[in-house]
A and B are shown apart, each in its own frame.
Chain A
Amino acid sequence: MFGRAKKTVDESKILEALRTVEDPDLHRDIVSLGFIKELKIEGGKVSFKVELTTPACPVKEQLKAECHQKVSAIVGVEQVDIEMTAQVRRMNVGAATAVLQGVKNIIAVASGKGGVGKSTTAANLAMALKVSGARVGLFDADIHGPSMAMMFGINSRPEVTEDRKIVPIDAHGIKVISMGFLSGPDTPVIWRGPMVHGAIQQLVRDSAWGELDYLVVDLPPGTGDAQLSISQAIALSGAVIVTTPQDVSLLDARKGLLMFRQLRVPVLGIVENMSYFLCPHCGERTEIFRHGGGKKTSEELGVPFLGEIPIDPSVPVGGDLGNPIVREKPDSPAAQAYTAFARQVAAQLSMLAESGGKSLPHAPIMPGPIDWK
């Protein structure tokens, strides 16, 4: 402006403005959450980073726009540069830290019964988190029918390092380990209780996962010993329950929920798969009989509803080609639905980590082990 000497904008003014921006999931302003990093002011030029709790933040763009607008409104500010980054918070502490030190969150994908699209959901959840920029691993713990190798087009066996660690297979940037790796395609292994327990424990603990923001675990369907084994072998950060609109599957979902409560694994929410049909030609939406049951169940049971995924004939095609639809056809409605769901999952985990697990009475952060002195 004419005649006015350039004056540096006051840092406190900027923080004051940013204090009015609230993270809608964590319900706190982004300054007290510690999201603002590297705030620099040079004359009228302001730049800073906003460090979110997950790169898969559902409202990333909205937050950025709001920060931009609020800071721009301060007198004397001429230019605002904002970089959105993320540092995933850790929900995995206690029991698992000794064995899975580099893994911040472990998400189990479960379903009360088979065939509801649990593995497809797990694959696309992992893929969507990866695409958002997170470091992701995928553990196929479905001893009855491991399917991740196929869904990710993996046909090699993992290597074992000198210190006897199994190196996960890299598939589209995701680190994959499968119970299927333990047996050849022609030599099905008959799993018995104690064996399952040992095998799961060994595979998950002895794999070289490295640093991961999210480890997605595809559980076997049902609520039996195998699920119990996994919940014992690793401290799951949270579980996602997949249902379809069919009644029986909702009933099973309810059973799954009760099981996780018993094991004190936080239930992050319910996702309804094959919720409605979108005609690939005309885009017309056909509701499936009893569509909406997942939402109703989640309300009844007091857990978040994480989204609904349409039936899309490209979903199985992507699965067969080793290319989850989130990667194969990212713009399709099904891929977008998976992505929105993945963001809800990430948001739920951020909230859990932020509250130290206190938002769920069943699942505080576990105390660490004690060596008696």
Chain B
Amino acid sequence: MAEKVSPTNMRQVGPKDLEITWTDGHVSTYPVVYLRRSCRCAACVDEWTGERTLRPEAVPEDVKPVRIEPVGRYALHFAWSDGHSSGIYSFDHLRAICPCGECVKAASGESPGS
């Protein structure tokens, strides 16, 4: 079984970024509006087709989390300034959507280095 990574630290950086440090040492910096648009809850993604029903432009550019809370040991829950609060972000999902260059490259198929 592949080792799962979990956050060792999580903090707000400036007004717009959430930083997560992972057990493997990787550090992810997420613009919060990107996180809001990546919500996978039933209201934002079609349960059957998996298609995103949330239009990116429907999310105001200045959306902010109100509170971020761990869920059990495997996920984070976000309450947003636009009133949305049904999204649970599993750590697996969060890591998969890390927007850093390295991860984006790896996700698009060209695994870096190896």
Contacts and interface: CB of A to CB of B under 8 A. Distances in A.
Contacts of A95: 69-73
A369 interface: yes
Contacts of B12: 370, 372-373
B67 interface: yes
A327 interface: no
A264 B69 CA distance: 16
A369 B4 contact: no
Contacts of B71: 95, 232
Interface string A347-373: 000000000001001111011111111
Nearest to B91: A264
B4 A261 contact: yes
Contacts of B74: 231, 262-264
Contacts of B51: none
Contact of A370 (B1, B6, B23, B68): B68
Contacts of B5: 361
Interface in B40-78: 64-75
Interface residues of A, number: 26
A182 interface: no
A235 B75 CA distance: 11
Contacts of A366: 7, 70, 73
A367 B70 CA distance: 7
Interface residues of B, number: 28
A236 interface: yes
Interface string A203-235: 000000000000000000000000000011111
A94 interface: yes
A265 interface: yes
B10 interface: yes
Given A264-B91, A361-B3, A372-B64, A367 B72 contact: no
Q: Which of A368, A369, A371, A372 is packed against the most chain B CB atoms within 10 Å?
A: A372
Interface string A245-268: 000000000000000011111000
A264 B1 contact: no
Given A361-B4, A364-B23, A372 B67 contact: yes
Contacts of A364: 6-8, 23
A236 B10 CA distance: 20
Contacts of A265: 72-73
B73 A264 contact: yes
Given A235-B70, A364-B6, 8 more contacts: A95-B73, A235-B72, A261-B1, A265-B72, A362-B4, A362-B6, A369-B68, A372-B67
5 contacts: A95-B73, A231-B73, A361-B6, A363-B73, A371-B66
The 7 A-B residue pairs with the shortest CB-CB distance in the complex, in nearest-first order = A95-B70, A264-B73, A367-B10, A231-B72, A369-B69, A370-B68, A264-B74
Interface of B: 1, 3-12, 15, 18, 23, 32, 64-75, 91
